[in-house]
Each structure stands twice: as C-alpha cells, then as structure tokens.
Amino acid sequence: MIRIIILSIAIIVYTIYKIYKLIDTYRFDKIQEQYFVEKSEMQKAEYKKEDMDNNYDYDIISINRYARDHNLAYKIIPNYRRQDYVMEYNELKFYEELKKITDKKGWVIFPQVPLYSIVSVNNRKKFQKLFPKLKGRSVDFVVCNAKKSCKIVMCIELEGSIHNKPFKELNDKFKDDLFEEVGIKFVRAKKKNSYNYNDLYEELGIVDDEKVEKAKKDEELSYFSTSSKDNAK
C-alpha cells in the first residue's frame, strides 16, 4: 500500500514538473516572439542604416533568457570575424625552420593551400562527383621551386593527435592516395613544439647540398692524400 502511495505521488510530481516545463518553454517562446514583433520601426531603421554604413550583414541572436532589467537579452553578432593568425604556434615554428632549407634551395613555401589549387579533376565526366572531394580540404605547406616557375616540389602535412581520429584517418587516406595518383611528393611530419632544420632534411627526404658538397671534397682530399703517399713510396 505504501509503495502504491509513493508511486502515485512520484507520478503526480513528475506530471506537474513536465507541465511546468511546457508552460515555461511556451512562455519563453512567447516572450522571444513578442520582443521581435514589438521592436520599433525606428530600431529597425537604425540597424539597417548601421549595416549599410558598415557594409555588414548582421544577425540578431538571443544569448540569454533575461537581462538584469528582466528583458530578453540579446546582442548583435556579425556573420564573420577575422582570424588574427594564419598559422598555429607549431606550424609557425615548423615554417621558420623549413624556410632555412628552402632559402638555400631557392624554393618558396605556400601555407594552407586548398587541394583544388594543387590537383585538378582530369575526368570531366565525373567533375561534379570528384571536385567536391577537393573542396574544403587543404595542405599545410606546399614547397615550390622559384627557379622553375614555382613548380611543386613537395606537399607537407603536419600531424597532431587529432589525426588519430576516425574521420581524420579517412581524410589522410584520401590525401595519400590522391598524391600518389598524381605523382606529387607528399610528406607527413610530426607536430612538435620545436624543430631543427638539420633534422628536417632527413625527415622530409631533402638532399642537403652543403653536406653532399662537403662529402665530395672530403673524398677528393682523401684520394689525393692516398695518391701522394703511394707516389712517395
């Protein structure tokens, strides 16, 4: 008997709670609707004039149920905002070390390049299907040879922990297969807090001309030194 009474009370309380929530939601919707309906034509004109003066396209977005004066709180938010930095900290550090190599090679670096600027759709019959796969995707760095009309040397992707996510794995596989198909060198480098440009030669598979030249000179010196000793004998 007690269990039945407790269960009945619980059902009644829950029903009252649900009714209250429905009324509360309805009341909030009506307040919000009333706010926009009752907004004066003068305000509309002022907002429109401000938009026209600044060439902005604004949306009015409610951000809180009530302000301190018990009116519906809102703020005007522009559709766009600027990004203060083009690169993240890790990307900038990588760029700085990579530039030491490219400056010696006579190469240039282009960051954040969209895929459709690197690869084009060859099968025109499948353009509508294939081109969207290029849109919305980019490569962190594209290295080009400035001496050869900016011909692409390689593309570089910095990998962080997010690349272990399933959706990123699919994206990575798409890029791997794509660059293999078109014959562009594509290298994945690990995202770190600091880099050393000497290590980047090996990591990116770039030939260090200074080391090669030094090795040749050492080999020549070694050859002449051996020859001199043989002649002396």
In-domain check, residue 155: yes
Are residue 121 and residue 191 in the same domain, yes or no? yes
Domain range holding 197?
89-215
User: What are 62's two structure tokens?
Assistant: 């409610």
Percentage of the chain with pLDDT > 90? 38
In-domain check, residue 84: no
Are residue 29 and residue 96 in the same domain, yes or no? no
- Domain count along the chain: 2
Distance CA 158, CA 164 (A): 13
Name which of 63, 60, 67, 64 is nearest 39 in CA terms.
Answer: 60
Are residue 119 and residue 205 in the same domain, yes or no? yes
Quick one: pLDDT at residue 63? 44
In-domain check, residue 114: yes
Greater model confidence, 14 or 24: 14
In-domain check, residue 227: no
In-domain check, residue 186: yes
Q: Is the pLDDT of residue 130 over 60?
A: yes
pLDDT band of 57, cuts 50, 70, 90:
low
Are residue 211 and residue 99 in the same domain, yes or no? yes
Q: Last residue of some domain: 78, 113, 135?
A: 78
Are residue 142 and residue 167 in the same domain, yes or no? yes
SS3 77: strand
Has this prediction a pTM greater than 0.85?
A: no
> What residues contact 98, with CB distance under 8 A and at least 6 apart?
109, 141, 143, 156, 195, 197, 200, 204
In-domain check, residue 224: no
pLDDT band of 208, cuts 50, 70, 90:
confident
In-domain check, residue 68: yes
Distance CA 124, CA 227 (A): 64
In-domain check, residue 65: yes
Residues in the chain: 233
Are residue 119 and residue 62 in the same domain, yes or no? no
Quick one: pLDDT at residue 65? 45
Are residue 114 and residue 208 in the same domain, yes or no? yes
Q: Last residue of some domain: 49, 78, 107?
A: 78
